[in-house]
Chains A and B, each alone.
Chain A
Amino acid sequence: MCGIVGLHLRNPDLYPRLGEMLSSMLCEMEERGADSAGVAVYGDPQWCPPGTVTVSVLESQQSSLELSTAVTARLGTSVSIAQVGETQLISAPVDVEELKQTIRDVAPGSLVAGFGQDLAVLKGVGHPRDLAAEFGLASAQGWQGVGHTRMATESAVTPGGCHPYAVGDGQCMVHNGSFSNHATLRRELIRDGVTFDSENDTEVGARYIAEQMRRGATVEEAVHSLSEEFDGFYTLLVSNRDSFAVVRDAIACKPAVIAETEDWVAMASEYRALTDLPGIESARLYEPEPNRIYAWSRKEVSAA
């Protein structure tokens, strides 16, 4: 139960302002959930140096220096590391699976919060406004970002329980609502070899989508398949490196608003999150229809 926001920039002139825009959106959603928060930013050159892949790590129990030294030693290539709040962003010019495995080897108890090219996932427990400041979110850059403010329903308030759930290469999912048959679906995924980091119902949805996509489904197909299998109420925002999709369940109780201009596409649980966006006065403003997938990509704009 939460607030969600997402921003997909069309105009590269706005890339330097991504963090500022996303930060104001996130902070407006604080009343929908104030126990923890998380964001995913696509394309910040500080957090994700060009030419590298980045793994976002929580609870490594090691200092950034210790961690980067250990990873460098294993990989035999230099890595860069950024400590952003509780999250450690480790980047290296290698295959992302190799980097992920190396981090798992040197920090066995750690939690991979996200991985992929150009993707930084930051999470923390606390008030969204404090976290946005701690992340330095307002000065972040990039072409796409999503954010989530959480009011935990049935799972623990821990960094691992925060959204976004970024469980596929470059993929993220944030969720407002709750699933009511996730325990069975979790068992089915575990039977298929999927592993979980938290007890959160959203993680089941995120891993389900990642699993569908791993088997070759498109985002649209994966989200459609989720809507067939999952009971419950949800507004979902699914992103990957180049795209951004919004879907609501058929009953559509959980709110969502989309705004579009030539410069950007924004989505939020409530309109008030969008009020500070440049050009909002003339944006095309609408609510996503139930059970319909709305998707945008950096290459083309489409509403399926």
Chain B
Amino acid sequence: MNTLTDTTTFDLQSSTLREVNRALHVPGVAGAFSIRNPRGAHALAAGVNAELEISIEGHVGYYAAGMNQQAAITIAGNAGVGVAENMMSGSVRVTGNASQSAGATAHGGLLVVEGDAAARCGISMKGVDIVVGGDVGHMSAFMAQAGRLVVRGDAGEALGDSIYETRIYVRGSVASLGADCTVKEMRPEHHEELAALLAAAGYLEDDTHAYTRYGSARQLYHFTVDNADSY
């Protein structure tokens, strides 16, 4: 049996974005899809709600895999602004770099960026797990509410500003911490959690002891005059 027969292939040089997304949205759709020549298209494979395997061969524009539910989407290339924004479940893997606001407001699932993620990675994240192979830019995990962010490289300025209950693990340096974000102790459960996240992302070799945990100091949870400078 030839497994290739199970894969439906689209080429964005001959198909429109609408045709591709429509096919991915058909109720009851199943199987594997390959999308060639994405040429920086926006909203590619956005709004999928099925257990599909989708591989995109090339660089994508804004909001690739936006609001994904269930699908396992791989982008073999770089992703533009807001990859996997508001993802609910499933997984998205970017083999290159991701632009700003990767995984913004995402509620669930796993986002892996093998390269670097730019500014605001995980902004307002609400339960997603994000693992970044390289560095993250400034204001990452801004107002992050829930979920975990793992950074194997360095983090830019104001990491975790106004953070709520997201847990952040960074292996490299952190340029600066944002308001109400603080270093936290790595207890056994955190090593365990981090190891599981790294394993899920395919980084089996990392020593969790090389990582530092960051989270909310919970000093901004109530408006008080003493915090006026932080608002």
Contacts and interface: CB of A to CB of B under 8 A. Distances in A.
Given A252-B119, A255-B81, A271 B97 contact: no
Give chain B's interface residue range (CB within 8 Å of chain A): 10 to 19
A108 interface: no
Contact of B80 (A271, A286, A290): A271
A272 B99 contact: no
Give chain A's interface residue range (CB within 8 Å of chain B): 10 to 19
B40 A270 contact: yes
B201 interface: no
Q: Secondary structure of the A side of the interface?
A: loop
Contacts of B41: 272
A73 interface: no
Given A255-B81, A272-B40, A287 B99 contact: yes
A258 B138 CA distance: 19
Contact of B39 (A272, A287, A289, A290): A272
A285 interface: yes
Contact of B100 (A252, A270, A272, A285): A252
Interface in A243-295: 251-253, 255, 257, 270-275, 285-287, 289-290
A99 to B, nearest CB: 41
Contacts of A253: 100
Contacts of B138: 252, 290
B32 interface: no
A113 B96 CA distance: 40
A272 B81 CA distance: 13
Q: Give the top 10 A-B pairs by smallest Cβ distance, nearest first.
A: A272-B40, A271-B40, A275-B39, A271-B59, A252-B119, A287-B118, A272-B61, A272-B39, A275-B40, A270-B61
18 contacts: A252-B119, A252-B138, A253-B100, A255-B80, A255-B81, A270-B40, A270-B80, A272-B41, A273-B40, A274-B40, A275-B39, A275-B40, A287-B99, A287-B100, A287-B118, A289-B137, A290-B119, A290-B138
